[in-house]
Chains A and B, each alone.
Chain A
């Protein structure tokens, strides 16, 4: 009995020492070494791929943003600012529930199933809004033109991209609200459309923040 207690204690002591030694290797040396090399070789990427417009940081090219008008009094959800290209819905983002001294961006998905009543309503409302907002006097968006990414929330809620199809149906509206020609705006979208990586990985994308920065420059010039 006494012997087995001693043996167990000895074994646990060995386990603790193994844990501590390996924590130094994998929990301190490894991440510090990677951080050092990463900061030396890819400082921009290692710190979040921030991008600037007019010399000011306006976000990260990897993190999607909302392009909304300021909240009016009595309003609960802000309206989209139709001057700018709109990204995907962000219904899955979280709200600070712990450590509320911060207002962190909290990534997340809606986790609603295909037969969930709330999701069905969100998708319907989003589709109606996309059709209404993007139709102009001489350009009518059809329901079948609206791609799925325009009316669904992404996995992270921070999707920086939209599909080229969603960018395309916004072109007429953007031209109208900014006093540009449709051809000018379409050219801008085409320039900011990225094909699949190496031709076959993932899907074609348009980075919304980069596109809006370019749009802002174009508006300022014309």
Chain B
């Protein structure tokens, strides 16, 4: 069997598995966020928080909950790293410096998981398992909560109420992420991912002497790392490390975990707005872009243009033998089209155009299918823009899901889509203009520029993957990327929740003959086009200087 055919079969198997899980999981999540019942364990948690889960919140209150919880999380995670040197169970590792501790705290709370530290030599058990992995659950649950609030904004009318943040967040953890993680972690251990709390120990070697390893709760963290589209590796090599991703089955399983919730949320959305077909239209948009990108990635990676790859006879630099080019391409597209950023191969050693696809995937706003929650709300914002464009063409006030898209709605949507590009381009320009940040590059020329463009694209879109030749552990990069990650996560949430509040207050407009049918394939086509054109116009100059220049030269 040729590697290309094996790649196609793996993609088909992945699609089949996702399709099987789509209905039950999507419907289950809709029930979780619509139910009036509280589990006993949830009641204990609400008592611990001191919050009444039945209080309905308007959008400012919901937003305050998101921001307060996240602010406390950043501070706590920062302090935990700062005192690591004095904590037991930390393998004797020293405390993390202030700039790196800030960067890492901002990174994990914003669901980015950008890592300027070297996992296996910097973070002990307490910080990894009791700090970083905890945020893998919580930041994911916050993302889903905000998406659900937006969906309620469409589903409800003549009220400004969007639900209760504490209840949504806690349910996301207890009823969705935790049970799925338990199953996923056990599958990963069965494949060979490690799960222990042993200290640093020596293991014999074939040629004599010994090698030093650290143990850790790797499988349990790996499970939620993928499931919550987080991406922060226990080890530096992330999911390329055999202890995180032991074989070709675990590899495909991890890709499945990354995509599971983001795709299924479109079903949840359809259920909650009362039209499954609206959910399918969103799903079709996401799936079209995702499959298209994978095919393009295969094309460029199997063709392996680039001097070093041509001499080698294949683009295997930075790739593991057990995965090969086919599966590595599926992983790298799935991780950059969601907000995951886990890697099973190193993107900096992709072909020029392959690295460009990774960049472009993030620049689309990570909406195909996107991060848990953030993918759905990002895609719904694009749907509003697409409906607006269609409305301009025919001269009608646009509506979506029975809600008028008026001046204030389109302002919120426009602000949302401007924030990330502004962050990416301004900070990339600043880093290129200043004398010192460029010293962090490993590669020169177009690829060196791509390293910096990739870093801010990854940070602002909360992805976390890297062109890792860039030495990002400097005060400049730790500080600016830290700020970019926080602004790139929470400013868009402000506009999403404001939009949700304004939609929930409206009364529904009945569909007429002139209403754009947003559940039809025509709309999916319009939406795909709008996404590609808007992203293309925004980023083309920057992409031309980096990956396009590199890819077309080879």
Contacts and interface: CB of A to CB of B under 8 A. Distances in A.
Given A115-B306, A115-B445, A109 B93 contact: no
B200 interface: yes
Given A127-B311, A201-B10, A155 B320 contact: yes
Contacts of B523: none
A174 B178 CA distance: 50
A94 B468 CA distance: 13
A141 interface: no
Nearest to A50: B203
A56 to B, nearest CB: 6
B39 to A, nearest CB: 12
Contacts of B545: none
A139 interface: no
B147 interface: no
B469 A104 contact: no
A154 interface: yes
Interface string B445-470: 10100000000000000000001110
Given A104-B200, A109-B468, A201-B327, A99 B122 contact: yes
Contacts of B221: 31
Contact of B442 (A112, A146, A154, A212): A112
Nearest to A148: B314
B469 A155 contact: no
Contact of A202 (B91, B198, B305, B322): B322
B197 interface: yes
A16 to B, nearest CB: 5
A67 B206 contact: yes
Contacts, number: 391
A213 interface: yes
Interface residues on B, range: 35 or more
Interface string A69-102: 0000000000001001000100010101111011
Interface stretch (B126-134, B427-435, B483-491): B126-134
Contacts of B212: 102-105
B20 interface: no
Contact of B121 (A41, A58, A97): A97
A111 B348 contact: yes
B64 interface: yes
Contact of A34 (B195, B317, B349): B195
A161 B322 contact: yes
B475 interface: no
Interface stretch (B248-256, B285-293, B415-423, B533-541): B248-256
Interface of B: 1, 3, 6, 9-10, 13, 45, 48-51, 64-65, 68-69, 71-73, 76, 91-94, 118, 120-122, 129-131, 133-134, 137-138, 166, 169-170, 173-174, 178, 181-182, 185-186, 189-198, 200, 203-207, 211-215, 217, 219-221, 224, 235-237, 240-243, 246-249, 251-252, 304-309, 311-324, 326-327, 343-346, 348-349, 351-352, 355, 442-443, 445, 447, 467-469, 550, 553-554
8 contacts: A42-B190, A48-B243, A58-B205, A59-B205, A62-B246, A102-B121, A104-B200, A112-B317
Which 9 residue pairs across A and B have the least CB separation, nearest first? A114-B306, A202-B248, A148-B314, A155-B240, A203-B324, A107-B237, A111-B469, A156-B237, A109-B346
